[in-house]
Structure 1
């Protein structure tokens, strides 16, 4: 095998019965020039992953077996740690098990990286997820910092931004009616990133370590990648590097919000518990600037949600929501028990 330059180790975490997806991702990656290894983390799959990987007969594909499902945080923690400690790859590229990179996606990352003059431990890149509306907005000029890391917000709500949000919706509506389309940018600076498409040098892993397993599910990717920008580094979205989500079996009914409903009540389950708890914890650490404004936002949000819970007879869901908020504010992380979302 010829010597590989810019050795890249792709890392993916899989679970359930998703070999039909993982297989496509692996086969695409094996055709890319700079792929030196592919680390597949088995996070509680319902089939023999080792047997399937052996059938590929390619020693670049490495299995990391977890005894139980460790959630996204634990899965990526184990995958990144293995790649960092047991391979000689220069770069790590994180991909969800349904993220199919386009043929030139990795080359676009490497080309962009060579044009950005920053030290290895201060620079990370991000592929564009073609199914994500916000990614497309950012690629066409929208400012990510107007959507993320809003000061003193409570789950995205801030009374100081009510008027501004209405104005943004009006502007967006007019843009949609306009035939003028902004040219796609070469790169966009991001405050943090999802796991899927995140690309960084091994020296970055020396600096930021591995994902925090206490998050278990949700927001763990935000907390992990924010360590880059929080420590003075930069994350750049590279629109020329595209990855496509290929999981067509996960057909979800889009939730329709009405005047007297809330997704936090109507869709309450264990996933929503983690999303609320972890988001509260993360944003308390990163965006809390003025406790008075934060507490006003919290009071207004909880007051409205409590009223909605009475109207919709979902007081039980509301009490569990408040418990998730309390856990987040107090930093009670880790894998939760059935009591949190029964």
Structure 2
């Protein structure tokens, strides 16, 4: 059960070093460790270059965001390896020594999966709010003490395992997403081919600065431009769902717009509404191409 790990990084060298060390200490070694560098600064470039053959170093000519990084990483996996699985993660994802082994153990029992997602925790041991697994059936969150695998609607690129055969069928993550939602779209695309699962026995730590979710109502002005991509991308992948899914997606999007207009105490309301409107409007026209990797050749 050969596996390539893909780590996408951008100017977070101390965290990246920890992630690489954790992957190298994995009880189940990866067959290829692919690091996609989104045109980080010279210090990161020099460090990764010095690792030599310990990694497969893919340096991009410009910062294409997480979406572009994962697009190039999955493409490299398909075109430069023959591994059966690709294991995707950010540069602040620290896997437990048995994280990959637990995913592969489940893969043996359920070999025709679309994707497998680990249990992503924050540094205090509680589930990372940015990576709450979304169950396919039911309205409730998966409890933190869950021990049984659960079928998912979607998942994030924070310890995600995908089969080569699925990538060949559905194509690559969409570079044009840039940030936010590329993983939701991709896992929902994979889930239309075969079921995706949450594997609670597999654990990783997501070393975000704080355990908070994204929320346009109260996020900092510095992060506000990201929400353009959030709403644009949500409009795109929401439209790919079935009728009930499309209705739910639009209710959430327009409900958040209503809250921006009406809730008291919203700072910089006009700026937030402007980003929301522009993202929603762009999403109605957003129709990016889905790319496919070339075949592996020796």
Preserved contact between residue 129 and residue 135 of structure 1 (Cα < 8 Å): no
Tell me, yes or no, if structure 1 residue 75 matches structure 2 residue 69.
Answer: yes
Q: Aligned ranges for residues 1-342 of structure 1 at < 5 Å?
A: 6-16=1-11, 18-32=12-26, 33-57=28-52, 59-116=53-110, 118-119=111-112, 122-131=113-122, 132-133=127-128, 143=135, 145-146=137-138, 184-231=146-193, 233-247=194-208, 250=209, 262-263=217-218, 269-289=224-244, 302-308=257-263, 314-331=269-286
Tell me the TM-score normalised to structure 1 length: 0.71
Distance 1:101 1:256 in 2: 23
Distance 2:246 2:97 in 1: 48
Distance 1:314 1:129 in 2: 33
Preserved contact between residue 180 and residue 230 of structure 2 (Cα < 8 Å): yes
Distance 2:205 2:251 in 1: 40
Distance 2:117 2:214 in 1: 30
Distance 1:256 1:50 in 2: 30
Change (3 A) 1:137 1:76: closer
Preserved contact between residue 152 and residue 197 of structure 2 (Cα < 8 Å): yes
Tell me the SS of whatever aligns to 1:321. Answer: helix
Q: CA deviation at 1:107?
A: 1.0
The aligned length equals 283
Distance 1:123 1:332 in 2: 23
Which has the larger Rg?
1
Relative to its length, the structure with more helix (as a share) is 1
Q: CA deviation at 1:313?
A: 6.2
Across the aligned residues of Structure 1 and Structure 2, the Cα RMSD in angstroms comes to 3.6
Preserved contact between residue 5 and residue 86 of structure 2 (Cα < 8 Å): yes
Distance 2:225 2:214 in 1: 20
Q: CA deviation at 1:134?
A: 6.0
Q: CA deviation at 1:310?
A: 11
Q: CA deviation at 1:74?
A: 0.6
Tell me the TM-score normalised to structure 2 length: 0.80
Tell me the SS of whatever aligns to 1:12. Answer: strand
Of 88-97 and 310-319, the range deviating more from structure 2: 310-319
Tell me the SS of whatever aligns to 1:44. Answer: coil
Q: Which runs of 5+ in 2 are unaligned?
A: 290-298
